[in-house]
Structures are given as C-alpha cells and as structure tokens.
Amino acid sequence: MKNYMEISFLAKSENESFARVVVASFASQLDPTIDEIADIKTAVSEAVTNAIIHGYDEDETKFVYLTSEIDEDTIKVVIEDKGNGIKDVNIAKQPLYTSKPELERSGMGFTVMETFMDSIEISSILGEGTKLVMKKTIKSNKNKD
C-alpha cells in the first residue's frame, strides 16, 4: 500500500498542533499503537516548531511545507521551510544547541526526533531553508495477539 499527502500552512505557532493532528490522522491507517502515534506527533511538533522559530524567525507570512508518505508499514514525514537554513547541521544536532539562545528553549529538538522516529535526515542550505525527513516503521496492531 502506498499513500501520499501534502499540505502547506502559515508559519504560525498555532499551526503546530494542526500539523500534529494531520500527520497522526494520516498515520492512523497503519493501525499504530497510542505510543507510536504519540512519538510521531512529538517529532512533528519539534520539526514544525523549528521551521517557525528558527527557519522563519516567527514570520507568520511564510509557509511550512509538510508531506507524508506511507509505504507498506512505514510512514515518512517531510517538513520543509524556505527560511534561514542551518549553518552547521552537526552542531545544531547537539542536545542543547539553539539558534535562539535568548528564548527559553532547550535546543532544537533533533535529539527528541531521533529518539521517537526510526531515522531522521536533515539537509539545510544557509539562506535557503531546511528539509527534515523522518521515518518510522509501525509495528502494526494487526500482527499482535
């Protein structure tokens, strides 16, 4: 089974919860556990928040782009912005690194995303934007007794 969806939405902080629900609803066709859905929603939250805060400096006129694809038992989520980009992805992946130290935040959440998803790939070009690809294989409830 293959399925695909894409949406874009304004870089408003209230749209972070919208993105979580959209991806969780799309993933529901794989019959995930509640924990698996929570993992996906948490990773999506972190990624969308990064696009809004770090990518766009909270410029609500910009768009966040989200696509998701299901292939057999795996969901792929891609979150992309056309914003600031990341100077050094390896430094940005450090647990407490932030491009906004003046804000009361504890890093960019890449460690959280890596914990909750099976894989993440980050590609970024300074001044052009960032693309985050996350994948998670669902251990389907259909195979459980």
Catalytic residues: 46, 50, 105
β-pairing, 2-10 vs 74-81, is unpaired
The whole-angstrom separation of Cα 100 and Cα 103 is: 6
Are 95 and 107 in contact, with CB atoms under 8 Å apart? yes
Structure-block tokens of residue 37: 């859905």
The whole-angstrom separation of Cα 28 and Cα 34 is: 10
Beta strands in 82-128 (DSSP E): 119-125
Q: How many Å separate Cα 41 from the centre of its chain?
A: 8
